[in-house]
Amino acid sequence: MTSTNRPRRRAGRFADGVVDRYPLPDSLARYMLSTKDKEKIMAGKAVISLTTGLEDPERVTVAFLVALGAAEQGRPTLMFLTKEATRLALDGVATAVACDGCPPLADLVARYAKAGGRYFVCPICFEARALDRQRLIEGAELGGTIPMWQWIGDEGATTFSY
């Protein structure tokens, strides 16, 4: 018991099964989530950060497949496009086929839009490449890190980076 007669909290087990004997301070213990709380978070938003454009179509395909999987399962899904990936938010650009047997990017983009997927396109990267705002595809808007964090909100999100 601590000096305030509350049970000491334990941090859990290490990978080798040894119990961690150091109690967590109350300020950290409140961040420990129950299984039910973790399940709520896991059923929440998804953010896929993509920096690569058509110079690596396989990486782009994988990022779109992950985003599409989340969006088609009903998760609110956001792709954050930076660097060369900003070009993918322009109409007619995402048309490659990465490999034999890979789905065409155009099909993945269309399915992502149909599932309600959104894009935030880094405005700094977009402007540095002198790209045309009028060519942004459905669901795409210029938005940097602050709008991304506002979209995520307090409930958090599952994230992937490519």
Range of the structural domain that residue 40 is part of = 33-161
Handedness of CA 101, 102, 103, 105 (dihedral sign): negative
Same domain for 13 and 87? no
Radius of gyration of the chain (CA): 21
- Average pLDDT over the chain reads 84
Query: If we measure between CA atoms, which residue out of 137, 70, 78, 65 comes closest to residue 108?
Result: 65
- For residue 72, give every residue at least 6 positions away whose Cβ sits within 8 Å of its Cβ, in sequence order, or none: 111, 115
Same domain for 58 and 90? yes
Give pLDDT tens digits for 14-45.
Answer: 444 444 444 555 554 445 555 565 555 455 99
| pLDDT value of position 151 | 97
Same domain for 23 and 68? no
| pLDDT value of position 11 | 47
When pLDDT is cut at 50, 70 and 90, the band that residue 67 belongs to is very high
- Full-model pTM: 0.74
Handedness of CA 51, 52, 58, 60 (dihedral sign): positive
Chain centroid offset of residue 158 CA: 6
Q: Rounded distance, CA 145 to CA 122, Å?
A: 8
Same domain for 51 and 128? yes
Same domain for 88 and 22? no
- Which residues, in sequence order, are bridge partners of residue 13? 19
Give pLDDT tens digits for 90-118.
Answer: 999 999 999 999 999 999 999 999 999 99
Same domain for 57 and 108? yes
Same domain for 25 and 42? no
| pLDDT value of position 9 | 44
